[in-house]
Every structure is written in structure tokens, then in C-alpha cells.
Amino acid sequence: MSKPAPPSTSPRSRDASRNSLTPESWINAATGLLVDQGIDAVRVDVIAKRLGVTRGSFYWHFRDRDDLLLRVLKAWRDAATDQLIDRFERRHIDPEILIDDLMTLPFRGRSAREAARIELAIRTWARRDEIVRQALDDVDARRVAYVAQCFSALGFSIAEARARGFALYAWQVGESMLIRQDSDEQKRERKALLQQLLLTPLPQDKERLATS
């Protein structure tokens, strides 16, 4: 008995596949390629093949490849900075508890590892694209400023809060990039030590904080 021929893909079924994809589907697939293979691999034909759709369906959502790349960059910036800061600010908790919470971010399992991989891919991309470099500089500055506000709320001077915020953020980036280094216990000990150092006023600041 001969096998029945596989059903052909009708224009209607192709339209259904095309219409079922959202811009986020393309952005997520592009981000995955960026992480796995680098920016040169993020091409419309490659993404379309990954998604199992025609190249033409891409243009229902984006003007061109550059438009897609800008949307990838915006999606990362929103998720990694704007949404995170908004979520923390809505909680209205003690700034010292908030600092402790921020310092747990590099250790939050699979989500932290995935965020670190995306971040590393963005930083690599920024080395060869000035627009991405500027976006990354803006994100770094916003993150440092936000952490500095937490230290400022504890009574540290603007300069002290800025320095401590920068130190905490640099540690976060380092832990995220060096995630395979050391055991979980060593990471916890390192976090506890740095947190103690960052929250301890310098001798010249103790009197000012006591009287403020």
C-alpha cells in the first residue's frame, strides 16, 4: 500500500502561521540567535527558518533588519532596567532590605543565567555598534543611579552613595559574567562581606550620619 502524500501547505495555512506570530516572536528568536551565534547571525532568513515561516512574513511586523535590531535592543533595555526598577520602586520597602534584594539578582537560578547570557551578548555587540554602545552606557548609568539612590536614602552623601552604588553594580556585573566561578557557598560569603562593607560608613561619615 502506498503512503499517502503529505498535505501541501495551502496559502491559508501559511497565512495562519504568519498571523500567529507576534513581533515578540521575532524579537525573541533574534535575541536567541544573538546570544548563541552573535550579531552577524541575526538575519531575516535565518530567523524565518527558525520560526518555520516565510521570509515575507517578517515584513508584516518590521520595516527591515535594522528595525528588528532596534526592537531587540529596546526589549532588552525595558526588561533589564525599566521594568526591574519599576518593580522595585512599587514595593516601597526599606532601602537596606532593597539593597539586599538587589544583591540577590545574580543568583536567581535559570533566569539569572539567561539574563547574564543576553547581557554578555549585548556588551559584545556594543563593541562594534555605536548605537548599541550608547544604549548600553545609558542603561549602566541608570542602574548605577538607581542603586545610588538606595544608599542616599540611608543617609550617605551624594558622592558616597554614588561610589557605593557603582561598587555594588560592578560587583553584580562581575558575578553575572563569572557565574561559573566558585561554589554557591563562596558566592554567599562574598556577597555577605561586600554587603557589610557597602553598608558600613567610613570613619569621617559616622559623625555626620549620627547627627543627620
CATH number at residue 66: 1.10.10.60
Q: Are residues 48 and 18 in the same domain?
A: yes
- Number of C-beta neighbours around residue 112 at 10 A: 16
Average pLDDT over residues 80-97: 77
Residue 32 sits in the same domain as residue 131: no
pLDDT digits 0-9 by tens, 106-137: 888 888 889 899 999 999 999 999 999 999 99
pLDDT digits (tens, 9 = 90+) for 90-106: 777 788 988 998 899 88
CA angle 184, 77, 50 (to 5 degrees): 85
Which of 178 and 15 is assigned the larger pLDDT? 178
In this predicted structure, the answer to whether residue 185 has a pLDDT above a threshold of 60 is yes
Tell which wins on pLDDT, 82 or 145.
145
| Alpha carbons 17 and 19: distance in angstroms, whole number | 6
Which spans in the chain are helix H? 11-20, 23-37, 44-51, 65-77, 83-91, 95-102, 109-126, 130-153, 158-177, 184-199, 203-211
pLDDT of residue 184: 87
- Which amino acid belongs to residue 168? L
Q: Which domain holds residue 21?
A: 12-72
Whether 132 is covered by a domain: the verdict is yes
Specify the pTM. 0.80
207: confidence class by pLDDT, cuts 50, 70, 90: low
Q: Which pLDDT band, with edges at 50, 70 and 90, does 143 fall under? A: very high
Half-sphere exposure in the Cβ direction for 2 (13 Å, CA): 3
What's the pLDDT band for 206 if we cut at 50, 70, 90? low
The number of folded domains in the chain is 2
pLDDT at 151: 95
- All three cell numbers of 177, joined, read 559574567
Residue 102: inside a domain: yes
Q: What percent of the chain lies above the pLDDT cut of 70?
A: 85
Q: 79 lies in a domain?
A: no
| Residue-level pLDDT at 209 | 58
- The average confidence (pLDDT) of the chain is 86
Rounded Cα distance, 192 and 105, in Å: 14
Q: Tally Cβ neighbours within 10 Å of residue 172.
A: 18
How many angstroms separate the CA atoms of 31 and 115, rounded?
11
- Residue 58: exposure state from Cβ atoms within 10 A (0-12, 13-18, ≥19): buried
In-domain check, residue 38: yes
Instruction: Establish if 6 belongs to a structural domain.
Output: no
Between 29 and 108, whose confidence is greater? 29
Query: What is the reported pLDDT for 180?
Result: 82
In a domain, 66, yes or no: yes
